[in-house]
Amino acid sequence: GAGVSQSPSNKVTEKGKDVELRCDPISGHTALYWYRQSLGQGLEFLIYFQGNSAPDKSGLPSDRFSAERTGGSVSTLTIQRTQQEDSAVYLCASRSSGTDHYNEQFFGPGTRLTVL
């Protein structure tokens, strides 16, 4: 019965380095979302997975951002050559069904990324 988990909880990196952020959704949830939460900017949609497929990558800010999901479970968001403007809290959410879009999205605690 654990909720969505994310790791690491905090990540400090130097400009230009690559980072990987991990999301473990609730078991059995087929839909998975990544958002970015910046100060004063609300939540910005990044990418949506249905199973292992990502039908919508339109929210990814640049080609430095990529994400994958394996086994219909764990997802990894990778940011290459990080920039200071990438600093934000990255949130993951999962939802139980791919067809019933009324279902609630359950959010993880987020990963706070700081790029120096």
Partner 1 sequence: AQRVTQPEKLLSVFKGAPVELKCNYSYSGSPELFWYVQYSRQRLQLLLRHISRESIKGFTADLNKGETSFHLKKPFAQEEDSAMYYCAFKKAGSYQLTFGKGTKLSVIP
Is residue 45 a contact residue for partner 1 (CB under 8 A)? yes
Beta strands in the chain (DSSP E): 5-7, 10-13, 19-24, 31-38, 42-50, 53-56, 65-69, 75-79, 88-95, 106-107, 111-115
Chain centre distance of CA 105: 13
Q: Is 60 helix (H, G, I), strand (E, B) or coil?
A: coil
**Shortest distance, CB of residue 47 to partner 1, whole angstroms?**
10
Closer residue to partner 1 (CB): 64 or 106: 106
End-to-end alpha-carbon separation of the chain, Å? 37
Instruction: Say if residues 8 and 75 touch (Cβ distance below 8 Å).
Output: no
Residue with smaller CB distance to partner 1, 31 or 82:
31
Binding mask 49-78 for partner 1 (x = CB under 8 A): -x-----x----------------------
Candidates 14-22, 33-41, 61-69, 76-84: pick the segment binding partner 1 (CB under 8 A).
Answer: 33-41
42 binds partner 1 (CB under 8 A): yes
Q: What angle do CA 59, 61, 62 make, to 5 degrees?
A: 125
Q: Which CB sits closer to partner 1, 10 or 81?
A: 10
Residues in touch with partner 1 (CB under 8 A):
3, 31, 33, 35, 40-45, 48, 50, 56, 91, 93, 98, 101-102, 104-110
